[in-house]
Amino acid sequence: MSVVATPFMGTLVNGALVQGSQMSGAAAHGPANPLRQRGQHEVFCGLTSIIWLHRKMQDAFFLVVGSRTCAHLMQSAAGVMIFAEPRFATAIIDERDLAGMADVHDELDKVVEKLLARRPEIRMLVLVGSCPSEVIKLDLAKAAERLGRSHGPTVRFLSYSGSGIETTFTQGEDNFLAAFAKDLPAEPAGAKPSLIVAGAMADIVEDQFRRIFDAFGIETVSFLPPRASTAMPHVGPNTRLLLAQPFLGETAKALESRGARHLVAPFPLGEEGTTGWLKAAADAFGVETGRFAAITDPGRARARAAVARHRETLAGKRIFFFPDSQMEPAIARFLHREAGSEIVEIGTPYLHRAHLAAEFAMLPDDVFVSEGQDVDRQLDRCRAAKPDLVVCGMGLANPLEKEGIATKWSIELVFTPIQGYEQAGDLAELFCRPFARAERLKVRA
């Protein structure tokens, strides 16, 4: 086993072929009756989420236990780092490990030993499973336990799967947070109500929300993932859970199993989504209506004005979503209601009905919804519909652009600060860029 941490360019699109059936044609597939597709799908794997997770948690190190392909994906997705040593690496499972000539657990222990000697600032070491580690059934949970006994309590060990077998890239964050949530301490007896906000957001966005929660008078607010791995909020029956991202089914389950109560809300995208999201917290903590309005009205007005500047470009534009980030329904709701766009199809890899209930309540009943993917059939629907803009993964964007269809990479939605009132204009602007680019190309031609 060897470690790769050197930047190297490469790319990967993961596909899998699973037999199944799907209905064809634009039958009535609204939110209550989505088209379920189980065919070839095009997504990035869950390792991708390490890119934003390692930036968020400054004392954590993510060690992927995988193949050279995994290392290439990581280095390519993270870009080239010249001035700082990255806080992620790949422990490569090589031929000797696969042939059983070496004990993979011993090899992993040696890699970890070396890593911790070299990087004494690491406080949390996360073992990330991959397709190869799953194929050889390497038990990383056991490895994390064993390493925790030899290196704890200075270093905490955690494991989760970022494997590309049947996942989408945002599931990496979900699996990580679910693993993190299991280790949280239990609420002490008589604990006051507290709020956990789950889902990685840019620090600047978190700070804005923290100021609003402070103004509401909510005393104990924690964000997951935290900026430091040692910040471990209590969880129990007095914990209220607000999801900041729509792809956290496992995380919510883990926190709910510890007693936390999920607050049903839309996601904090755009003026309406942010207001609904904040209102869920305000209601749970008894903030009265007048006070809520006084605190949120200025932000709401700024958000409306910022989005209005982009409405001329986006109003009436027909938008087609391929399944990728799991943010598709919430983004479609924002574009439809606040920017006046027409939604042709909302494709999403998974549809968590309870978590998306508030989103679909704001979308038309007959909006076309599909869950999962059968990529060729979906491409046929897309071409037939001739949308003005397609929101999709990077693997589909280039071929569609070549066919003259404007695209937006959905992965940008996790790398760009888009939540909250102050970012509503930026969120709208992201979808204007492909149209501005097309205009510029026309002028040059």
Q: Counting contacts by CB under 6 A, is residue 66 touching ligand SF4?
A: yes
Query: Of these, 69, 171, 325, 378, which contacts ligand SF4 (CB under 6 A)?
Result: 69
Q: Counting contacts by CB under 6 A, is residue 14 touching ligand SF4?
A: yes
Q: Counting contacts by CB under 6 A, is residue 313 touching ligand SF4?
A: no
Q: In angstroms, how far is CA 236 from the centroid of its own chain?
A: 25
Neighbours of 313 (CB within 10 A): 19
Task: Using alpha carbons, list the distances in angstroms from residue 235 to 22, 189, 263, 277, 324.
Answer: 42, 11, 15, 20, 31
Binding mask 104-133 for ligand SF4 (x = CB under 6 A): --------------------------xx--
Please state the closest distance from residue 65 (CB atom) to ligand SF4, in A.
10
For ligand SF4, the closer of residues 49 and 67 by Cβ is 67
Please state the closest distance from residue 60 (CB atom) to ligand SF4, in A.
19
Q: Counting contacts by CB under 6 A, is residue 12 touching ligand SF4?
A: yes
Neighbours of 32 (CB within 10 A): 10
Write the DSSP assignment of 77-88 as a string of letters.
Answer: HH---SSS--SE
CA distance 86 to 122: 12
Label the pairing between strands 194-198 and 14-16: unpaired
By CB under 6 A, the residues from 129 to 168 that bind ligand SF4 are 130-131, 163-164
CA distance 394 to 409: 6
- Among 232, 199, 270, residue whose Cα is nearest residue 431: 270
Residue showing the smallest CB distance to ligand SF4 in the complex: 164
Write the DSSP assignment of 348-363 as a string of letters.
Answer: ES---HHHHHHHHTTS
For ligand SF4, the closer of residues 141 and 438 by Cβ is 141
For ligand SF4, the closer of residues 173 and 271 by Cβ is 173
Please state the closest distance from residue 73 (CB atom) to ligand SF4, in A.
4
Please state the closest distance from residue 67 (CB atom) to ligand SF4, in A.
6
Q: Counting contacts by CB under 6 A, is residue 67 touching ligand SF4?
A: yes
CA distance 181 to 353: 22
Please state the closest distance from residue 165 (CB atom) to ligand SF4, in A.
7
Residue 52 CB contacts under 8 Å (≥ 6 apart), including other chains: 173, 200, 414, 415
- Among 153, 149, 150, residue whose Cα is nearest residue 124: 153
Task: Find the part of the chain contacting ligand SF4 (CB under 6 A) among 62-70, 98-106, 117-125, 276-284.
Answer: 62-70
Q: Counting contacts by CB under 6 A, is residue 373 touching ligand SF4?
A: no
Task: Find the part of the chain contacting ligand SF4 (CB under 6 A) among 33-41, 68-76, 140-148, 169-177.
Answer: 68-76
Across-strand partners of 347?
Answer: 370
Q: Counting contacts by CB under 6 A, is residue 13 touching ligand SF4?
A: no
CA distance 213 to 227: 18
- Among 196, 200, 218, 216, residue whose Cα is nearest residue 263: 196
Please state the closest distance from residue 331 (CB atom) to ligand SF4, in A.
24
Task: Find the part of the chain contacting ligand SF4 (CB under 6 A) among 63-71, 141-149, 215-223, 278-286.
Answer: 63-71
Neighbours of 108 (CB within 10 A): 23
Please state the closest distance from residue 14 (CB atom) to ligand SF4, in A.
4
By CB under 6 A, the residues from 17 to 56 that bind ligand SF4 are 45, 47
For ligand SF4, the closer of residues 76 and 220 by Cβ is 76
Please state the closest distance from residue 64 (CB atom) to ligand SF4, in A.
8
- Given strand 342-348, what is the order of strands in its sheet? 35-38, 369-373, 342-348, 318-321, 389-392, 407-409
Please state the closest distance from residue 106 (CB atom) to ligand SF4, in A.
22
CA distance 283 to 380: 45
For ligand SF4, the closer of residues 133 and 341 by Cβ is 133
Please state the closest distance from residue 414 (CB atom) to ligand SF4, in A.
16
CA distance 413 to 296: 24
For ligand SF4, the closer of residues 69 and 229 by Cβ is 69
Neighbours of 141 (CB within 10 A): 15
Q: Counting contacts by CB under 6 A, is residue 98 touching ligand SF4?
A: no
**Would you state the structure tokens that stand for residue 324, as one six-digit string?**
């990728």
For ligand SF4, the closer of residues 62 and 277 by Cβ is 62
**Would you state the structure tokens that stand for residue 253, as one six-digit string?**
């389950």
**Taking a C-beta distance cutoff of 8 angstroms, is the pair 58, 70 a contact?**
no
Q: Counting contacts by CB under 6 A, is residue 252 touching ligand SF4?
A: no
Task: Find the part of the chain contacting ligand SF4 (CB under 6 A) among 64-72, 105-113, 179-187, 239-247.
Answer: 64-72
Residues lying near ligand SF4 in the complex (CB under 6 A): 12, 14, 45, 47, 66-67, 69-70, 73, 130-131, 163-164
